[in-house]
Chains A and B, each alone.
Chain A
Amino acid sequence: MQIIACYSNKGGVGKTATAVNLAYAFAASGRRTLLCDLDPQGASGFYFRVKPSKKLVDAQFFEDDERFAKAIRGSDYDNLDILPANMSFRDFDVFLSRMKNGQSRLKKALKAVKADYDVVVLDCPPNISMLSENVFQAADAVVVPVIPTTLSRRTFEQLLEFFQASGLPETRIHAFFSMVQNIKSLHGETIAEMTAAYPGRFTRATIPFASEVERMGLTRAPVLATAPASRAGRAYQALFDEIEERVKA
């Protein structure tokens, strides 16, 4: 079982859209896929029309394998299931504090469903916290969307520093440029600079700033399902192909 974490220590960068489309693409490629919604803001479950489960607001959630497995819901798409976490911020704090005693608790919980899935995609909350550290430990790949601006560069550096400080291998980080607007020269320059500064960390594929992605909130379905031939659709497919290739290697 492979664990792919979608993570950003900055909000509003298209992380949830990435998790949703990557999970869809893994499932469409024939792999049994579980998308875990760990981000109370992102609500990737929303994009699959899965109603939040009232039973899941309990922080002991990950400590109870059976409850974890029972909370999973099938999506409308073959091979793709969703874990709609729906934790409130307050619950999340409690949850995180509980996690202190066992860094690998997330991995333990995922083990309970190991036989059911080939790929688990995690939609992570946007901060470097206990949970994030857990996620980085457990993940085979950490997919990081980066908007090509100066500010984003700072945030990305913080992430790399965090990896170094925690003794985590940087090679797990697979960053890509998100919400790219070709019309902005700053975007082009930042992409060139960062790609050169962090060799091997960025994928060739970039995700454009596109209305199809915004429209996901209306269609409540992955772009890859509703508009695979669109610019954004093709970009997500290219990103998936590249991530898949990198994770394989």
Chain B
Amino acid sequence: MTTGDGIYYLAAARLGDLAERDVQNLKPVLEWTEGSRPFAIRDCFDQSLRMSRRLLLEDGGLLELISATGEALRQPATPQARFVAEFAEGPVKAALAGLSPLRALLPVAAGMARSGRLALIDDEGKTRARAELLELRPTDGNAVILVTPQGLRGYDRALHDLVAHVRDCGGTPLGAGNLYRMIDPANTGYVAKPRIEVGREETAFDAANDLIDGYLPVARANEQGIIADLDTEFLHDHRVALRKIRSVLSLFKGVYDLEQTAELKLRFSALMAPTGPLRDLDVYLLAQQGFCDLVPERMHAGLDRMFARLRDRRAAEHARLAAHLRSKGYQKEIKALTKLFAKRRKLLAGQNASRASFDLACELIWKRYRRIRRIAAGMTAETPDDEVHRLRIECKKLRYLMEFFGPVFPRRDLKDVLEPLKDLQDSLGLFNDYAVQQTKLQAFMDDLGDAPHKLDIAQSVGALIVVLHQKQLGEREKIVAAFARFNSDRMQRTIRRLFHEGKGS
């Protein structure tokens, strides 16, 4: 048997058409295997699998990863497993290694499945081509059939005719369409970083409105996932979206009326504030293994106790945030803000509102860039942490500006600038993480009071702080090197050409 020509899906309602008439003088014969079994289609919230043209299917006790070419990897399913790391070792798990380890594989659809086969038979009763059928009947949503044509060696023409027949009956290649949407027409997918078009001549006011209007739905799309505590990325994405909105408000100077800018900043800041404590705890808990790797094994018991306490705190914080997101106050506020940026009638223009996006972008980016060079120029091994912190914040703002206004600059040039900037930011981020972690761990210890095993915990955490301090010192040297790359002559020329000499295009 040779593998066929990809895998197709079609509405179960079209099943009758498949076996209705002869296909190039070959008789179609449809057969179903007795009995059915539960199935579930799984994917991350951002549909990484669908985007990479793959289908993860729990079929009875099997976990299958089907590619657009129809090839399937199989391994026994691990009941209750939600993250790739929790799956049993096997070819499917290995193939899923590229997925974010932080993303849960959530059920897209679940119900009952049955298997069948469609064969095209000649006048001798010989099968010339066939297709494996898998009917998926979800509890909620439309039933679909997956069709995997399988050619028999030496009968290429029959296979070709079978594929054409499947397509005639509405078969869509798995990689080309959206199976999820056929099952649930309301399945719209989720994009964490929406592409928001900004035109060169578009007014800065419109651009800012478009950006905020584009990121508000991202924040909202994550609410349910946070409340249900599906994975930590929901909260992360929610916060990133709100942070981007706040950046637009603070970085697009003079685009909105001064007073309204201040008011909006306060309102978005208030939306984000309750999410901080939970995110901090998530970051710690995700770092558990990393922390343990940093200290000797005899210290692990103390760290485990610390993490147990953090997990308790996280449960309490999660309950608090979930209640907040469900509250009438939050819902009313975020709806009001969504409406404000959708309708835009009540938004007041500032002195830069009518400037062309390109002009304003160049001015803001150039200013920010020069400030970064000033700070970085004086940086040595003795520079106080606060200065490094300031450099980190400035780089972050520069990055946001470049990304917001990205569409008005040549893509390739921008990529050349963004890459070394990202490297620099990574180093600055690590430096900052090490610093913040030390402070927070110290605070955690000071807070222990008369907790049981206090001594154990204090010893382990103390050891961890020492290691983190060493790592922080090491990272500072890397920052100097990363800045040198970002500040190369070539980069300076590119940035000047792009953002200062009005030759952005």
- Using CB atoms and an 8 Å cutoff, list the residues of chain A in contact with chain B: 48-51, 70-76, 78-79, 81, 220
* Contact between chains at A73 and B127 (CB < 8 Å): no
Can you give 24 A-B contacts (C-beta < 8 A)?
Answer: A49-B122, A49-B124, A50-B126, A51-B124, A70-B154, A71-B154, A72-B153, A72-B154, A73-B152, A73-B154, A73-B155, A74-B1, A74-B2, A74-B153, A74-B155, A75-B152, A76-B126, A76-B127, A76-B152, A79-B1, A81-B153, A81-B154, A220-B124, A220-B125
Instruction: Tell me if B151 is interfacial: C-beta within 8 Å of chain A.
Output: yes
Interface of chain A, helix or strand or loop or mixed?
A: loop
- Using CB atoms and an 8 Å cutoff, list the residues of chain B in contact with chain A: 1-2, 122, 124-127, 151-155
Which residues from B are CB-within-8-Å of A76? 126-127, 152
* Contact between chains at B125 and A49 (CB < 8 Å): yes
Q: Which one of B122, B124, B125, B151 contacts A74 once the chains associate, using CB atoms below 8 Å?
A: B151
Q: Which one of B1, B2, B124, B154 contacts A78 once the chains associate, using CB atoms below 8 Å?
A: B1
Nearest neighbor of B2 in chain A, beta-carbon distance:
A74
Give 8 closest A-B pairs by Cβ, nearest first: A74-B152, A49-B126, A73-B154, A74-B153, A49-B124, A76-B127, A81-B153, A72-B153
Scoring B2, B122, B154 by chain A CB atoms within 10 A of each residue's CB, the highest score goes to B154
Beyond contacts A74-B154, A220-B124: 7 other A-B pairs, Cβ-Cβ < 8 A, are: A49-B122, A50-B126, A51-B124, A74-B153, A79-B1, A81-B153, A220-B125
| Number of A-B residue pairs having CB atoms within 8 Å of each other in the complex | 34
B90 CB, min distance to chain A CBs, angstroms: 19
Which residues from A are CB-within-8-Å of B154? 70-74, 81
A121 CB, min distance to chain B CBs, angstroms: 16
Q: Within the assembled complex, what's the spacing in Å between the Cα atoms of A90 and B124?
A: 27
Nearest neighbor of A220 in chain B, beta-carbon distance:
B125
Q: Within the assembled complex, what's the spacing in Å between the Cα atoms of A109 and B392?
A: 69
Which residues from A are CB-within-8-Å of B125? 49, 220
A112 CB, min distance to chain B CBs, angstroms: 14
Which residues from B are CB-within-8-Å of A48? 126
Q: Within the assembled complex, what's the spacing in Å between the Cα atoms of A10 and B293?
A: 76
Which residues from A are CB-within-8-Å of B151? 74
Which residues from B are CB-within-8-Å of A74? 1-2, 151-155
Q: Within the assembled complex, what's the spacing in Å between the Cα atoms of A81 and B153?
A: 7
Which residues from B are CB-within-8-Å of A72? 153-154
Nearest neighbor of B152 in chain A, beta-carbon distance:
A74
Q: Within the assembled complex, what's the spacing in Å between the Cα atoms of A199 and B22?
A: 57
Q: Within the assembled complex, what's the spacing in Å between the Cα atoms of A79 and B153?
A: 10
Nearest neighbor of B126 in chain A, beta-carbon distance:
A49
Q: Within the assembled complex, what's the spacing in Å between the Cα atoms of A79 and B126?
A: 16
Q: Within the assembled complex, what's the spacing in Å between the Cα atoms of A99 and B190?
A: 67
Q: Within the assembled complex, what's the spacing in Å between the Cα atoms of A115 and B122?
A: 29
Q: Within the assembled complex, what's the spacing in Å between the Cα atoms of A74 and B129?
A: 9
Which residues from A are CB-within-8-Å of B126? 48-51, 76
Nearest neighbor of B130 in chain A, beta-carbon distance:
A76
Q: Within the assembled complex, what's the spacing in Å between the Cα atoms of A50 and B2?
A: 17
* Contact between chains at B153 and A73 (CB < 8 Å): yes
Which residues from B are CB-within-8-Å of A75? 152
Nearest neighbor of B127 in chain A, beta-carbon distance:
A76
Which residues from A are CB-within-8-Å of B124? 49, 51, 220
Nearest neighbor of B129 in chain A, beta-carbon distance:
A74
Scoring A49, A72, A79 by chain B CB atoms within 10 A of each residue's CB, the highest score goes to A49
A73 CB, min distance to chain B CBs, angstroms: 4
Q: Within the assembled complex, what's the spacing in Å between the Cα atoms of A49 and B152?
A: 13
Which residues from B are CB-within-8-Å of A51? 122, 124, 126
Q: Within the assembled complex, what's the spacing in Å between the Cα atoms of A79 and B125?
A: 19
Q: Within the assembled complex, what's the spacing in Å between the Cα atoms of A51 and B151?
A: 17
A226 CB, min distance to chain B CBs, angstroms: 13
Q: Within the assembled complex, what's the spacing in Å between the Cα atoms of A49 and B151?
A: 16
Q: Within the assembled complex, what's the spacing in Å between the Cα atoms of A26 and B265?
A: 74
Q: Within the assembled complex, what's the spacing in Å between the Cα atoms of A70 and B2?
A: 13
Q: Within the assembled complex, what's the spacing in Å between the Cα atoms of A165 and B124?
A: 45
Which residues from B are CB-within-8-Å of A50? 126
A244 CB, min distance to chain B CBs, angstroms: 22
Which residues from B are CB-within-8-Å of A81? 153-154
Q: Within the assembled complex, what's the spacing in Å between the Cα atoms of A51 and B128?
A: 11
Q: Within the assembled complex, what's the spacing in Å between the Cα atoms of A113 and B1?
A: 14
Nearest neighbor of B119 in chain A, beta-carbon distance:
A76
Which residues from A are CB-within-8-Å of B152? 73-76
A132 CB, min distance to chain B CBs, angstroms: 27
B150 CB, min distance to chain A CBs, angstroms: 9
Q: Within the assembled complex, what's the spacing in Å between the Cα atoms of A51 and B26?
A: 14
Q: Within the assembled complex, what's the spacing in Å between the Cα atoms of A76 and B127?
A: 6
A28 CB, min distance to chain B CBs, angstroms: 14
Q: Within the assembled complex, what's the spacing in Å between the Cα atoms of A51 and B122?
A: 10
B3 CB, min distance to chain A CBs, angstroms: 12
B128 CB, min distance to chain A CBs, angstroms: 9
Q: Within the assembled complex, what's the spacing in Å between the Cα atoms of A75 and B150?
A: 12
Q: Within the assembled complex, what's the spacing in Å between the Cα atoms of A73 and B151?
A: 10
